[in-house]
Chain A
Amino acid sequence: MMASPTNILGQSNVFARLGSIGKAREAGILLAFILVVAVTTTKNPNFLFSTDGFRDLLVTPALLMIVAVGQAIVIITRNVDLSVGSVVGLSAYLTGRVFMDMTWLPWPTVFLLGVVFGALLGLINGALVAFAKVPSLVITLGTLYAFRGINVMWTGSKRINASDMPADFLALGTSAWYRIPVITVIAVLVLAIAGWYTYTQRGGRELYAIGSDPDAANLYGLKVRRRVLSAFVISGALAGLAGVLYAARYGTVNSQVGLGLELQSVGAAVIGGVAIFGGSGSVFGAAIGAFLLLTINRALPVLGVDDFWQRAVVGALIIGAIVLDRLAANRQIRRLVALRDLDQQPGDSDSDRDRELPSDNTKAVNNV
């Protein structure tokens, strides 16, 4: 008799395994990433083992990774931020401009300024989405063009060169910490904080709830607007950070910085298992997705695949990831429903008795 409450616990093993599909998903992407690196390295050992190769492997995806983490947070709330590429461009240019025009400002202040500027642009997106109730796809498509337009108008045909920026700042883009590029260290730190927040904090958990069912979130009395707004601010701030780091790393900034990053970041998130309709996935998946996406881009030429096919491979990867998710989700639903029926079917009278067991137990205990 006393065993019945532990039934609840016993059953959960099955679900622990089901739940691990999510984790398995990230593991799968990581495996694919390792596979790509391994295959390419066998073809050309320099891909991994040369100093430059190792450095490129870590530093190339770092900027996309930062943007993809922000994108994932937005997508989890069942929104999308298509303006991130333009935000990266605008913050990168702003950073350079401030260095040129206000040479007296210490570089960390300028660094911070770029991030805050990105956050402000994110605030514009978020406010329009949360308060004007216009779908984020439309709003951020609009700001994608608007921000880029401002950028082009402001930059004109000028551009910012490495000589316009302080050496200490530029060193950020080139220096390394125990052979790991500083930019990559920053990206990993961002990932760790975002991952910690979305997994352990109430606010982070609410992002998932909102994306899972926005109407239910309203009925629950969750602060939907504030959360969605902050998701866009985070995404904007991270895009701003990526813009600043772009300036540090490449040293030249024109009006075309960050072009196309919006779709790459959405792609990275989707490949990494963030459901496009919100509610599931993780920033870790999106980060690994960013690594896989850009590493494949670099690996294919090494493997002798021509340009056209490189794009096709990336496309296939995104479609494959979505199809895989759909299949896994369908299988999970079937299994969940099957488990429920299993729970209720075996002879109606039997399951009735089962259901009543625990309450009889508690009554017996109470009587004692």
Chain B
Amino acid sequence: MSTNSAVKAAQPPALELEGVSKSFGSVAALVSASLRVEHGSIHALIGENGAGKSTVVKIIAGLYQRDGGTFRYRGEEVNFTNTAQSKDSGIAVIYQEPTLFPDISVTENIFMGRQPTKSLGRVNRTLMRAMVVDLFSQLGVKLDPDRPTRGLSIADQQIVEIAKAISLDARVLIMDEPTAALSGVEVDRLFKVARSLRDEGRAILFISHRFDEVFELCDTVTVMRDGEYIATSAIADTTVAQLVRQMVGRDISTLYPKEVAEIGDDVLVVSKLNEPGRFHDVSFTVRAGEIVALAGLVGAGRSEIAQAIFGVDSYESGSVTVNGTQLRKHDPVAAMRLGLALVPEDRRKQGVILESSVARNITLAIRQSLRKYGLLRAQTENAAASEWASRLEVKTSALDATAGTLSGGNQQKVVLAKWLATNPSVLIVDEPTRGIDVGTKSEVHRALSRLAGNGLAVLMISSELPEVLGMADRVLVVHEGRITAELDRAEATAETVMYAATHRSAVA
């Protein structure tokens, strides 16, 4: 590639991390991260969800402080304690969702906090604007410097961020999944800008989930897994297959045994579901007794599909059928009546009422049917709740303890119990074990598995490969709003799922 080896030899690497660790409470986000980014290079950092890429970025930016290891910037060890310090040293971070001030003009956004001034400390607007016009022509983009940034497309907002980085004369640019929200044309424009910055000798750290982009743009790639450094290789010396292996290369243990269940008739039939910009042409079925996993990367559109099926969100065309009856779109009440239940991703926001008792949480969805003469007696409530609490083995001191006192895993069981109390025929669970410790995880898995064994049709969204491979009878892989692969239990391996999750076209 076009990296200049003379330049490389002449100066220390732009960024050098060695054995960096970082924990949040008892959770280790980084165990031992290492990274070496040279000047004049576009370096890819890849890894599964939760591999620790974002934590690395935040440590470099000074948003987090590392617990251990060394971090050298241009040969010198640094300890950034806030973003201003890293910025002043010449490190610019462009986040996936740019953070601009919507009410303020493009020009002032670029120079906020360091505007050029004239006498009496007055901001020199004329000079500032001229500098922006200059920057934009240097980048080859057409953007009005006077408009507020509200209403700009994500692509244009990123251009504003890049202009800011250049105006700071940043030596290192970190782009955290910059292409996630961009169209093809916009990606091309971004790549052109990135290459010209590289040719000026700047170092770029490029974080992406798309292998095609990594191979098109970058010259070096570092793989991380579970908070650890795995390997760095020159793009020319590696292949997609090799990278995938490095990304997922752990033992898929038998932690998540799905019990054998009798597979019955089609219960949930989704046909050609389509909502522009979110998901396209989604069709699949889930049968009684079956667990079907929706796998893919965060942001691939899986939760959106689930919410459209359940009726929380609307969709443009297509149909959803439960037990032979077609659902009206955008009508969750009707969906519930027909036997659909959705356990959402964000437990705290959408699932449990932390301040209410366990019993009240469990009976929340069936309160209407429990009342007598319009009154709900604590006795009835507790009776209904205790049945489900014992079936799912919810560990609580008492049924009238508040849900907030339970552990994450047990809260998740309460949410499950709430929906199971409605006696559904289809259960949709979105990331059922996110943020749950390993021990309780397998309890949740056992509960789900037993439910399927009793004839429930389960659609499970999960970003954790072991969970998907261990639990699912079939795996549907979603990439950018499309199902790119449908794999049965025998076909589904870490490699096939990860390949489909990162490629636009289906596996042959």
Interface residues of A (CB under 8 A from B): 4-5, 7-9, 11-12, 15-16, 18-19, 200-202, 205-206, 208-209, 211-213, 215-222, 275, 279-280, 332-333, 336-337, 339-340, 343-344, 348, 352, 354-356, 358-362
Interface of A is mostly: helix
For B152, give the chain A residue with the smallest CB separation: A340
Which residues of chain B are near A5, meaning CB under 8 Å?
133, 137
The 7 closest A-B pairs by CB, nearest first: A359-B140, A221-B84, A336-B151, A279-B103, A216-B99, A212-B101, A200-B122
Which residues of chain A are near B82, meaning CB under 8 Å?
221
A320 to chain B, nearest CB (A): 22
Interface of B is mostly: loop
Verify A202–B101 contact, CB threshold 8 A: no
Which residues of chain B are near A356, meaning CB under 8 Å?
140
Verify A202–B121 contact, CB threshold 8 A: yes
Knowing A15-B147, A209-B101, A279-B103, the reply to whether A362 touches B123 (Cβ < 8 A) is no
B337: Cβ under 8 A from any A Cβ: no
In B101-139, the 8 Å CB interface with A consists of 101-105, 108, 112-115, 117, 120-123, 133, 136-139
Which residues of chain A are near B138, meaning CB under 8 Å?
362
For A335, give the chain B residue with the smallest CB separation: B151
For A211, give the chain B residue with the smallest CB separation: B103
In B55-109, the 8 Å CB interface with A consists of 63, 82-85, 87, 95, 99-105, 108
List 15 A-B residue pairs with CB atoms under 8 Å apart, sorted by A's residue number.
Answer: A5-B137, A12-B146, A12-B147, A202-B113, A202-B115, A205-B123, A208-B101, A212-B101, A212-B103, A213-B100, A216-B99, A220-B83, A355-B140, A356-B140, A358-B137
Knowing A12-B144, A201-B123, the reply to whether A352 touches B104 (Cβ < 8 A) is no
Number of B interface residues, CB 8 Å? Answer: 46
For B140, give the chain A residue with the smallest CB separation: A359
For A202, give the chain B residue with the smallest CB separation: B115
For B143, give the chain A residue with the smallest CB separation: A8
B4: Cβ under 8 A from any A Cβ: no
Which residues of chain A are near B108, meaning CB under 8 Å?
205, 209
CB within 8 Å: A-B pair count: 129
Verify B140–A358 contact, CB threshold 8 A: yes
B304: Cβ under 8 A from any A Cβ: no
B193 to chain A, nearest CB (A): 9
Q: How far is the CA of A200 from the CA of B116 in the complex (A)?
A: 11
Q: How far is the CA of A353 from the CA of B146 in the complex (A)?
A: 23
A77 to chain B, nearest CB (A): 12
Q: How far is the CA of A211 from the CA of B99 in the complex (A)?
A: 13
Knowing A205-B115, A354-B142, A356-B140, the reply to whether A219 touches B103 (Cβ < 8 A) is no
Verify B140–A213 contact, CB threshold 8 A: no
B141: Cβ under 8 A from any A Cβ: yes
B329 to chain A, nearest CB (A): 26
Q: How far is the CA of A218 from the CA of B99 in the complex (A)?
A: 10
Verify A205–B185 contact, CB threshold 8 A: no
Q: How far is the CA of A17 from the CA of B141 in the complex (A)?
A: 23
